[in-house]
């Protein structure tokens, strides 16, 4: 296998995210749905370019059935702590979130969400994510607002370990 390319200097502030992360402790909920538990494999890779490619594949803990899936890229404005998350989700949503990276935390808020004309209701109006790394654990918390739940409310909380 070819040696990993050197990390592009622009994405050095995001180096703590890189690698393959795994969890079976995901907890989901929202006022309009039943609480649920899930597993997820989360990967952040680079190819020497000033971006990180991510994928997040979630599954049902008991049935192992695939659930939510996302792929995309993270970019950083060179020389700053300003980050952008460009994502596509399997249920018909594409989004751009922007925010900041500070040491081993990243805070992101969506400013653009596109959806298929035939995607399922309700419409996702806003997404906020927080990533925090503590030693060998990475935690992600996701809040959202939808067309029928106007308050920003937690949808997901999960902590991963390195595979």
**CA gap 108, 87 in Å, rounded:** 12
Specify whether the CB–CB gap between 50 and 56 falls below 8 A. no
Q: Report if residue 32 touches ligand HEM, rule: CB under 6 A.
A: yes
**CA gap 50, 74 in Å, rounded:** 9
Site for ligand HEM in 65-124 (CB under 6 A): 67-68, 122, 124
Q: Report if residue 28 touches ligand HEM, rule: CB under 6 A.
A: yes
Q: Report if residue 14 touches ligand HEM, rule: CB under 6 A.
A: no
Residue from 38, 44, 54, 85 in contact with ligand HEM (CB under 6 A): 38
- Residues at the contact surface with ligand HEM, assessed by CB under 6 A: 28, 30, 32-33, 36, 38, 58, 67-68, 122, 124, 127, 142, 144, 146, 148-149, 155-156
């Amino acid at each position: 296998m070819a040696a990993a390319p050197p990390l592009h200097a622009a994405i050095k502030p995001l180096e703590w995210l890189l690698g393959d992360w795994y969890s079976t402790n995901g907890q989901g909920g929202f006022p309009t749905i039943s609480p649920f538990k899930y597993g997820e494999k989360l990967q952040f890779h680079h190819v020497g370019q000033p971006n990180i490619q991510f994928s997040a594949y979630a599954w049902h803990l008991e049935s192992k059935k695939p659930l939510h899936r996302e792929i995309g890229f993270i970019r950083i404005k060179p020389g700053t702590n300003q980050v952008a998350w460009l994502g596509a989700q399997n249920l018909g949503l594409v989004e751009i979130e922007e925010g900041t990276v500070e040491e081993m935390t990243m805070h992101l808020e969506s400013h653009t969400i596109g959806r298929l004309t035939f995607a399922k209701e309700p419409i996702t109006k806003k997404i906020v994510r927080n990533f925090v790394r503590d030693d060998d654990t990475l935690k992600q918390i996701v809040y959202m607002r939808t067309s029928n739940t106007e308050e920003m409310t937690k949808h997901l909380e999960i902590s991963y370990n390195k595979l």
